[in-house]
C-alpha cells in the first residue's frame, strides 16, 4: 500500500531507534494527543523499544474516552424513548458504557441502532426511510467535524427533512491548553495529531511554543512517522528550542485545509464542552449554527450536550488521571482486574483507542 508500506519499513524503524538512542542525556515526558497515535505506539511496541529517559504519555485524544458520561446517557435515553427512530453511530461508540447501559445493549433490546463508517451513510439511511427520524450520534475531533459539516450541507441541498445530528465534537488546541494550565502534569513536548492538523494547520499550536515553551511536532501515524517525530522533539529539547515542526509534511501545512475549515465554520460554532476527566473547557466543543438548526438534534428532540462543570468525584476509577497523563494505566488500582475490555469500568478501557485498552492489549507482555 503506497505511502503506508514505506513508513513501516523495518530498516528505517531500526535506524531511527538508533538515532533516538543518541539523545540518552535528554530526559523527556512526551504527550501524544490522539487515540490513533496511542494505537500505533502500542501496536508497534514503540514504548518498549525506547529507553527509560523518554516517557510517552497518552493524553485525552480519544473522542470515545472524553465524551462525557451524561452525553452517553442522553443518547441511550433517547433510544429508549423512541424505538422507531434510527440512531446512526460510528462503530467506536457502540460499546461505550453510560451509567446503566450501552448502545449495543439497547440494540439488543429493540432500538434501531446502526453502525456507519461515514456520516453520508447516515444521510442515505434518512433518504431511504423518509418516515423515520434519523439521528446521527456525532463524535470526533477536527478531522471528522468537516465531514459532518459537509453532510449537513448536503442534507440541506437535497432537502432531507428527517436527518439530525447530535454534535459532540471536540476541539484539540483548547484541550492542550487546559492540560498545560492545569499544572498537574509536566509535559516537555507534544506529538500533535496528524489528521486533525491537516485540517486546522500547524500554526494552531504556535501559542504552545510561544506561551508555554513546549516544542510540538505534528506526526503521521505509521511507526516511522512516530519515531521520526520523537527524534525531532528530542532534538529540539537537546538544543533548548521550542517551536512547531511538521514531520507529516506530505499532508500537513502551517495553514491547514482552508476549504475544510470554511465548511466546518459555516455549519458549526465553538461552545463550552464538558470532557470526561477534564471538566468544562471553554470553547472546546462544536454546536450547530442557527442557520442549520433544522439538523440539530438538540433542537429537534430536546437532548442536551453536557456542558456543566461536573468533574467526576474521586473514586476507584482513575480514568480522569489516565486521560490527563498523570498516571499510566498500570497505576490504576482497577486496571486488568476487574477492569478489562470485556468488563470495562470506564471509557478508557472500552474504546479500542482508549489508553487502558491499548495498554491491556499491547503493553502487558513486557
Partner 1 sequence: MCLGIPCKVIEIDGDSAVVATANVKNKINISLVDNLCIGNYVIVHAGFAIEKIDEAIAKETLEMISGFIKDAQ
Partner 2 sequence: MKSGTILLSHGAGGKLSHRLIQDVFLKAFKNPFLEPLNDQAVFPSPGKRLAFTTDSYVVSPIFFPGGDIGKLSVCGTINDLAVGGATPLYMSASFIIEEGLELEELAKVVESMAKTALMAGVQIVTGDTKVVEKGKADRLFINTAGVGVIPDGVDVGPSFMEPGDAVIISGTVGDHGVSVMRERGMITLDVDVESDCAPLHELASAVVSTGFVKAMRDPTRGGLITTLNELALSSGHGILVKEENIPVKEEVRGVCEILGFDPMYLANEGKMICIAGKDGAKDVLKAMRKNPLGKDAEIIGEVIGERSGKVLLETSLGTRRIMEMLSGEQLPRIC
Chain residues that interact with partner 2, rule: CB under 8 A? 1, 4, 8, 10, 13-14, 17, 35-36, 42-46, 48-49, 62-64, 90-92, 94-95, 104, 115-117, 121, 140, 144, 223, 341-342, 351-353, 360-366
**Minimum distance of partner 1 from residue 257's CB (angstroms):** 5
What residue 364 binds from partner 2, partner 1, none (CB within 5 to 8 A, per partner kind)? partner 2
Cα 279 to its chain centre, rounded Å, is: 16
The smaller minimum CB distance to partner 1, of residues 194 and 329, is found at 194
Sheet holding 86-90, edge to edge: 112-116, 86-90, 134-138, 163-167
Residue whose CB is less far from partner 2, 121 or 242: 121
Half-sphere exposure of 161 (CA within 13 A, CB side): 3
Segment 204-209 long-range contacts (CB within 8 Å, at least 24 positions apart):
204/172, 204/173, 204/256, 205/173, 205/176, 205/244, 206/244, 207/173, 207/177, 208/173, 208/176, 208/177, 208/180, 208/244, 209/242, 209/243, 209/244
- Outline where DSSP puts E strands in 86-202: 86-90, 112-116, 134-138, 163-167, 189-193
Q: Which does 312 bind (CB under 5 to 8 A by kind): partner 2, partner 1, none?
A: none
- Residue pair 156/126 in contact by the 8 Å Cβ criterion: no
Residue with smaller CB distance to partner 1, 248 or 334: 248
Nearest distance, CB of residue 251 and partner 1, angstroms:
5
Q: Would you count residue 1 as binding partner 1 (CB under 8 A)?
A: yes
Reference 213, options 236, 242, 190; nearest CA is: 242
Which among partner 2, partner 1, none contacts residue 16 (Cβ within 5 to 8 A by kind)?
partner 1
First to last CA, the chain: 30
In b/e form, how buried is each residue of 229-249, taking b as 16+ CB within 10 angstroms?
bbbbbbbbbeeeebebbbbbe
Give 39 or 324: the residue with its C-beta nearer to partner 2: 39
Least separation in angstroms between CB 4 and partner 2: 7
Minimum separation from the CB atom of position 341 to partner 2 (A): 5
The correct pick among 47, 54, 61, 350 for binding partner 1 (CB under 8 A) is 61
Binding mask 251-270 for partner 1 (x = CB under 8 A): xx----x-xx--x-------
Residues in the site for partner 1, rule: CB under 8 A?
1-4, 6, 11-12, 14-16, 18-19, 34-36, 61-63, 90, 117-121, 140-141, 143-144, 146-147, 150, 193-196, 198-199, 221, 224, 228, 247, 249-252, 257, 259-260, 263, 353
Amino acid at each position: 500500500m503506497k505511502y503506508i508500506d514505506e513508513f513501516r519499513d523495518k530498516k528505517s524503524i531500526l535506524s531511527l531507534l538508533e538515532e533516538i538512542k543518541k539523545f540518552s542525556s535528554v530526559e523527556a515526558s512526551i504527550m501524544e494527543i490522539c487515540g490513533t497515535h496511542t494505537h500505533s505506539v502500542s501496536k508497534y511496541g514503540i514504548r518498549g523499544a525506547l529507553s527509560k529517559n523518554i516517557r510517552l504519555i497518552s493524553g485525552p485524544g480519544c473522542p470515545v474516552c472524553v465524551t462525557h458520561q451524561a452525553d452517553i446517557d442522553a443518547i441511550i435515553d433517547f433510544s429508549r424513548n423512541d424505538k422507531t427512530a434510527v440512531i446512526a453511530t460510528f462503530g467506536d461508540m457502540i460499546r461505550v458504557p453510560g451509567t446503566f447501559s450501552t448502545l449495543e445493549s439497547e440494540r439488543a433490546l429493540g432500538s434501531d441502532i446502526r453502525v456507519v463508517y461515514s456520516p453520508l451513510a447516515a444521510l442515505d439511511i434518512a433518504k431511504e426511510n423518509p418516515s423515520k427520524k434519523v439521528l446521527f450520534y456525532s463524535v470526533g475531533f477536527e478531522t471528522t467535524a468537516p465531514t459532518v459539516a459537509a453532510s449537513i450541507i448536503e442534507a440541506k441541498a437535497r432537502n432531507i427533512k428527517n436527518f439530525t445530528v447530535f454534535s459532540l465534537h471536540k476541539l484539540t488546541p483548547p484541550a492542550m491548553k487546559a492540560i498545560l494550565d492545569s499544572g498537574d502534569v509536566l509535559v516537555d513536548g507534544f506529538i500533535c495529531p496528524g489528521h486533525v492538523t491537516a485540517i486546522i494547520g500547524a500554526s494552531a499550536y504556535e501559542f504552545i511554543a510561544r506561551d508555554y515553551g513546549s516544542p510540538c511536532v505534528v506526526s503521521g501515524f505509521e511507526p516511522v512517522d512516530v519515531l521520526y517525530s520523537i527524534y525531532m522533539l528530542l532534538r529540539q529539547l537537546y538544543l533548548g528550542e521550542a517551536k512547531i515542526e511538521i514531520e507529516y509534511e506530505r499532508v500537513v501545512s502551517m495553514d491547514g485545509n482552508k476549504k475544510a475549515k470554511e465548511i466546518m465554520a459555516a455549519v458549526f460554532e465553538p461552545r463550552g464542552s464538558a470532557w470526561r476527566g477534564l471538566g468544562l473547557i471553554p470553547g472546546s466543543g462544536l454546536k450547530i449554527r442557527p442557520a442549520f438548526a433544522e439538523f440539530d438534534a438538540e433542537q429537534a428532540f430536546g437532548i442536551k450536550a453536557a456542558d456543566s462543570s461536573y468533574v467526576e468525584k474521586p473514586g476507584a476509577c482513575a480514568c480522569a488521571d489516565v486521560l490527563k497523563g498523570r498516571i499510566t494505566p498500570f497505576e490504576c488500582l482497577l486496571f486488568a482486574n476487574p477492569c478489562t475490555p470485556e468488563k470495562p469500568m470506564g471509557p478508557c478501557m472500552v474504546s479500542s483507542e482508549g489508553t487502558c485498552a491499548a495498554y491491556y492489549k499491547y503493553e502487558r507482555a513486557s
